[in-house]
Structure 1
Amino acid sequence: MDTIEPYRRRLFTLSLDTRRDDGTQLYNFVLAGRGKKNWKSADLVLAGLYSLLIKESPQGSDGFILGNDEDQANQDLSLAKKLVAVNAAEIGGEVDVLSTEIKRRDGRGSLKILPARNIAGQHGKTALFIGYDEIHGYRNWDLFEALAPDPTRTDVLQWVTSYDSIFNTPGNPLYDLKQRGIAGSDPGMLFSWYSGDICTDPEFAELPPEQRANPSMASWPEGARYLEQQKRRLPAHKYRRLHLNLPGAPSGAFFDPDSVLGAIVTGRKRLEYDQRHSYFAFVDMSGGSSDDATLGIAHQEAGKSVVDAVESQAGKTPFNPRQAVIKFVNALRGYKIRSVTGDNYAGNTFRADFEDLGISYAPCRLPKTELYEQMEPRLNAGEIELPDLPKLQEQALGLVVRGTRVDHLPGEHDDWINAAAGAAWCAATQSQTNTGLVGRYSWG
């Protein structure tokens, strides 16, 4: 036990050995997130072995651990075998170590360790333990639905471990589970999260981001020097995801992630109206069923396009888009803006709505792919400032090239980044037009 740090002991005590008054286990789901090299996989395997060898169940002690891919499954299996080997005196006589599983000799169960794609044959079977290792690449809930716990059992434990997701949007399993954990809406979930921005452990919550995300740092031979080394060697977005346990960007992202992160002014959610500036606006309207309606407002200052605000309709989807128009018109008036640029969604419907409320509406002459292509070199040159809004960052990092278009991935969205890109373009081009500088910049 002296090799297991106190914070990990607390996790094991809560998840494996804490019960309600009626004797049933308090938690049936664990979500454990930390930076890389902080014993996440080891704890998952230890919990699986505990369920196999220590917990006794009348329906048997079968369990699964699913690696994100073949390599992850092989690493987990190798770790499980090593744990059995070095504890041979205690448990070696109780199990057989097979090619992909650890099996009890009394026939009461086995712990199978497989890549997620090889789990098809296990669907519908009852299990005492279901573990998912490194789910940051999962795009949907299909696997969780296929391996849903047996509803006739009260002793099932699901254990999910990962660093943060590439696809940090609603509908993505890790995103949804994190939101549930943050809200505390699931009394059966034990949410154990250590990252640069969220930490559920009071002993680490007030420490600097690197220490919050890496609670096992003190056990590393080189300690903080290892992270300094990784920071120099890795792109910023990969360092943030791997070692600060913060959301990242998908492979093949259109924008350079470091440029996006560099454009975001940390802590700035919005800039209020300043009479010294002229403001420009872009709207991305929606039918109200699935996509947000968004408004971006920006001004030009010292050669930079400063995005002052990006906002959406009141509330979540579904919503009444005409109520969104009213909200946006009030926001435009707050910045003394009399006209807005937008796409041709729904023909002249929203154009008429804006104009009925005294705001002229100009259709944008560029498709969104060209807005993003115009935005990219200015991001790289540090000529754009963006507000610190999670949805905006996620969507900017999530844009990819799909054929001849720049677009979001299937099932995701780009309404917030589209409003920001459009507002920045309007500020650059329209402010140049107003001062007779058309053509001076690449956006002219």
Structure 2
Amino acid sequence: MPKIATYKEAVDYLYSNLPMFQRVGSVAFKKDLTNTLALCEVLGNPQNKFKSVHIAGTNGKGSTSHMLASVLQEAGYTTGLYTSPHLKDFTERIRINGVTVDQQFVISFINKLQEIIEKIKPSFFEITVAMAFDYFAQQGVEVAVVEVGLGGRLDSTNVIMPELSLITNIGWDHMDLLGDSLDKIAYEKAGIIKNKVPVIISERQADIEEVFKHKAEGEEAPICFAEDFYEVVLNSDHAFNGFKVYWNKAFFLELNTFPLGGIYQRNNIQGVLMAAEILNEQGFIIPVTALQNGLSKVVDNTGLRGRWQKLGDKPMIICDTGHNKDGIQQVLKQLTLLSYNKLHIVMGMVKGKEPEAVLAIMPKDATYYFCEAKIPRAEKAQTLAEQAKVFGLHGQVIPDVNEALAVARSNASEADVIFIGGSTFVVAELNDL
């Protein structure tokens, strides 16, 4: 077997030889943990060599993971962070104290495991999870924040035994793989709840909270709902300028310089604060200053991008990776807080996302620029435009994401707003990101 010599060869090998869910969809999803366990066994079970926090949910799990990792960094811990998908480069998936995995490690890891990779044919995600755990173990991280890829119960990351599990929320996404009801989706997410390991649910959802309570009871896992303890409120109802946080109705802290402009981050913040509280009870030392600084510096500390991120002024240009009905609903709610003359939306989606549910809630008075990401799963821009027309949405078909944004810019006045979204992969292709 020829050795891989360069980082480009390594990434090409991962993309071309291993099925990647983000690119090809459900054929890449393995419904058991056999391959991940086999890979970890060959590596000496690195997942058992560091403490971890496991984070699942439909929306917000990425932001929550980055925020908690930033808080732990500010508390002085050598902190690993595993998230997916990446926006610009593969190494973004694996970080220690915000620094991405060394490219040379990626090369040597694949060379080391090439024989077993060829033998068991794991998915792209299975390999990446094993790589992250091996890197964290070798680099001696004290704690790793591990974001679930898809679901929970059968996700490759579910081979860890964490100090704490956290589930952000449940919404309609990946129904073809996780189930056609919120109960079924919640059951899959609840699969990260482990025996006697505390679990936090960031927000109460009356329809499904019994699913979590039942699973936690069966595992003898202490369970709490973060919103019962923390309340995060906007400083202003009319524009975003930070949050005030209350604990058990008493003022706790203020975030005037919080860099993530999405008001939807309120629910994620309360989950992070609850996580820090429980970790403190377990012997971690996370002072309030670490909470304040970790949340305020999350972008600088962890490199988080694409969450209600401002890319320009006059016209204001905003992008967000929200890609399902629940996520986009939050984005649209925030758009109503902005003052503008006209709204321009550069939009693309991927197949399997039930576009009708999203298109039905999109504003009819916006001008649309339908585009498509350069991945096999991308919905054709022309197809999306035709689907959108049924819901009274009209605009141009400009397949290339950056060309679509350039046309939107040329059409917009300084008093307008341009929003880019509908898919993580559309946002990822932006040159300005």
**If you compute each CA radius of gyration, which structure gives the higher value, 1 or 2?**
1
